Structure 1
């Protein structure tokens, strides 16, 4: 297909991050949606309701009294074999926590947008990754997006990943509150036929409305029964998701012409002495910092972690072999330990021959702005650490008063 005819098959709209997600859910043809509105996720719920009311989306929308009920409703719907969607964040995700475990352990390919927001107190509605990072052990795939187009594309990809027979795990698509959710950017919407071809819907095997093959689920398991094996299979499915995410990304690029990275995205890392590792919108800004410092003669690169679960150990080790220092910027905090991404990276590189220096940085908590100048200064500081003694002196608290 020529570039001109391909362009004619697409439409570009100026969309907020929330509306980009809603359009993606519409084009994915989700058939069951249940959400409880919570700032800054509300725009997703409103737009999907509008699509259904106007007849643009053929789906059942179930309004509920809580996030716990929203996930319970999605679990019930997914057990009938229909494509489902929900969205939440922050305290809503915390309230949903019990059912988050049920969704993954029941091996249901639910897709949920998490519009990352700080968990209080004190009360705060701005961006932070702590809400979704705190769910990292629930068995959900977690994909973090850095801009509006990536949020749209990742929702489409999430259904293909989740519904793969070798995966069958739910997916969180994470975008930062207000930073992405309430700002607007051009978003390319693909042709509906291409989306349908990319994610054809085939109901999964373990549905409870098949009267010829009835099943039950969630029953009591004694220690000598199969609980241990179920968890092992979840872990194996998460490993299988790594390959599926990569293949999905490659196929997506062939059809739609865009690639946001597979499990990670490298930017000018090949010869970099210092690499800045981050998730979400900070990763896009890090590319600008790299460009500025490259012009000044610094060998720097940026590495975006797209998949936090499954954690891309092999990809990170491969990058670590080529660099001297990795600066990790976490927009989350585990009090008493530090940022989760830095902790996971250090565990991944433990015992690694020629392990680079790892500098931990916590930044942007409670939605505090992380400026381009701060990221540039952080990278320059890494060079000073290498020149002096090569040993970082604890966590860097970027922007702390």
Structure 2
């Protein structure tokens, strides 16, 4: 197996993954901090190294519409966006998922305005959590490269047939430079099994297939139930593809979740995205001081691995959920999902939700250690703690 190691920007690593997957159609519209991904792909198109069609469109709505059509016609398809651009795609994303079209896109995380900001949190992709897309959050640039390759194999699996959004923290990952291991195109194609094997597609030479037809009450619930079943199937496929990738390329980041030092942990931190790397460093420092703390990394936000999370945290006294998005009027989004799965446990750990890193607010090792110290004070009587704490909140808010 051939591989090369190059220092490159995170966006270029993603562009290389999309190129190596021999993607048939790429629809591009720029919005920071996603722009560099499609810029690098345009360079590949210009130098002739891109396999498929590269199409400049006039808006994010057009980008999603274009890949909606290309995926329906059986093409391996890709697009990317961020923040307000993702919201502009919303109507089409529901259609893509509802029609079971297995394309891949990158959701480069950036907060939703107002106030106007280009800094990072998870509010944009989480606003789309119910549209039917699978969502996988990545921790590092290398994982971003590897996850995009895995994404096509997961989405195109006939037990799944759902679109996949790889969620990648803006600036922190897209614009950072690190050594990245790139694999040979031929090996990636062997891993994927070659070109896309469409379950069904729009093709004049084939029996007619319609998209967007009217459906009555006799079939609507059944249709949505089938999508739920596909998400359940996706959990198993995500785990399987992660293992296959490890066997072939030697890289592994977990399946739907990953754990770090949880076996004997009294306190477990739960998080996803680039902050996971910071948490690992903080845990190493705390472990050196004799503190029993561990990490559960959520890779798959949709489908949500609630059962797997609860099992991984079962032996802990307290679990801290680090949320980088808010459901206004309710609280932390990941926290809401997590707490549900602990309710029926006989001996459940105390849970506490921490809203942190909103709009790019600093979330470093010292902050992680402060969260750990706070968790030591949480009621150890196995009571589900509903409190939500805002980390490093400036106390000048108006009433």
What is the TM-score normalised by the length of structure 2?
Answer: 0.96
Give the equivalent residue in structure 1 for 2:367.
374
Match of 2:199 among 191, 197, 205: 205
Give the equivalent residue in structure 2 for 1:37.
30
Alignment of 1:381-396 (within 5 A): 381-386=374-379, 392=385, 394-396=387-389
Q: Once the 2 structures are TM-superposed, how far is the Cα of residue 230 of structure 1 from its aligned partner? A: 1.3
Give the equivalent residue in structure 1 for 2:172.
179
Q: Render the CA deviation track for 1:351-370: whole Å, top value 9, x for unaligned.
A: 22111111110011111121
Match of 1:221 among 194, 200, 215: 215
Q: Does 1:80 align with 2:78?
A: no
Q: Once the 2 structures are TM-superposed, how far is the Cα of residue 388 of structure 1 from its aligned partner? A: 9.7
Select between 23-32 and 199-208 the one with higher mean Cα deviation: 199-208
Q: Once the 2 structures are TM-superposed, how far is the Cα of residue 337 of structure 1 from its aligned partner? A: 1.3
Matched-pair contact (CA < 8 Å) for 1:385–1:391:
no
Whole-Å Cα distance in 2 between the matches of residues 338 and 154 of structure 1? 29
Q: Once the 2 structures are TM-superposed, how far is the Cα of residue 211 of structure 1 from its aligned partner? A: 2.2
Whole-Å Cα distance in 2 between the matches of residues 301 and 166 of structure 1? 33
- How many residues are matched? 393
Q: CA RMSD in A?
A: 1.4
Match of 1:116 among 109, 113, 123: 109
Q: Once the 2 structures are TM-superposed, how far is the Cα of residue 399 of structure 1 from its aligned partner? A: 1.7
Q: Does 1:166 align with 2:156?
A: no
Q: Once the 2 structures are TM-superposed, how far is the Cα of residue 164 of structure 1 from its aligned partner? A: 0.2
Give the equivalent residue in structure 1 for 2:285.
292
Q: Does 1:235 align with 2:221?
A: no
Give the equivalent residue in structure 1 for 2:82.
89
SS of equivalent residue, structure 2 residue 244:
helix
Alignment of 1:1-400 (within 5 A): 6=1, 9-199=2-192, 200-224=194-218, 226-386=219-379, 392=385, 394-400=387-393
What is the TM-score normalised by the length of structure 1?
Answer: 0.95
Whole-Å Cα distance in 2 between the matches of residues 385 and 168 of structure 1? 42
Q: Render the CA deviation track for 1:199-235: whole Å, top value 9, x for unaligned.
A: 12233122011423111121111223x2221111111
Matched-pair contact (CA < 8 Å) for 1:370–1:399:
no
Whole-Å Cα distance in 1 between the matches of residues 380 and 186 of structure 2? 56
Matched-pair contact (CA < 8 Å) for 2:350–2:380:
no
Q: Once the 2 structures are TM-superposed, how far is the Cα of residue 387 of structure 1 from its aligned partner? A: 6.4
Q: Render the CA deviation track for 1:323-370: whole Å, top value 9, x for unaligned.
A: 111100001111121111111000111222111111110011111121
Q: Once the 2 structures are TM-superposed, how far is the Cα of residue 385 of structure 1 from its aligned partner? A: 2.4
